[in-house]
Amino acid sequence: MHEPTIYVIDDDDAVRESLEFLLGSSQLSVKSYGSASAFLESLPETLSGCVITDVRMPDVTGIDLLKRLRELDINIPVIVITGHGEVPLAVEAMKLGAADFFEKPFDGDQIVSAVKGALSNWQKSADQETEKAELQHRIASLSAREKDVLLGLVAGNPNKTIAYDLGISPRTVEIYRANVMTKMQAGSLSELVRMALRAGVSAGEKNNASH
């Protein structure tokens, strides 16, 4: 994971410099841009951190930026800065996925606190996505029959029921179940079910590959 960077976007030099100083003083890595276009043109391959953008800017507005990030499927927290009386714009930004908004003049400590909170939530979310991808990779390594047995276990069915549903013997289900536990690296049935649910497996799912 790259070091989180706070991307400050504002066409007002004074506001931009103030935020750079404020965040830099809190030991946060900062990059600033005079426009959303400049930020979008220099998008790094891997974005990690948080965006702070003014909502009302010439050319590409903060709202436009949020829409563009959504289109690019970039899930980075965005904090919006609004002028006095621009709450409707801020609400629109929140609907588009902004993590927070602040009216000018803003309180420095509150901004730093909001940035740190957004970074913490983003890191947790990124960790969960990594874990989910790893679990999905393990599930993909299961044979069609092993996945059938996994689905039966997630549905809460005992071995006998799974055996009956699949037209195989309970002993064969036990063998498949042991294989599933090994491939999923699960230490217990409850851990296996938890892993499957985290990976997005649902009890009602059907595995057509085996039929």
Residue ending a domain, among 72, 107, 129, is 129
pLDDT tens sequence across 157-177 = 999 999 999 999 999 999 999
Q: What residue numbers bound the domain in which 171 lies?
A: 141-210
Condensed to tens digits (0 to 9), the pLDDT of residues 91-140 reads 889 888 898 888 888 888 889 999 998 888 878 877 888 888 999 999 99
Q: Are residues 107 and 187 in the same domain?
A: no
- Is residue 19 located within the same domain as residue 117? yes
Q: What is the mean pLDDT of residues 195-204?
A: 81
pLDDT digits (tens, 9 = 90+) for 52-66: 999 988 888 899 999
pLDDT computed for residue 205 by the predictor: 60
Taking each helix axis from N to C terminus, what angle separates 170-184 and 189-198, rounded to the nearest 10 degrees? 60
Is pLDDT at 1 greater than 60 in this prediction?
no
pTM higher than 0.75 for the full model?
no
The total number of structural domains in the chain stands at 2
Amino acid (one-letter) located at 116: K
Query: 21 with 120, same domain?
Result: yes
Tokens 């010439």 correspond to 58
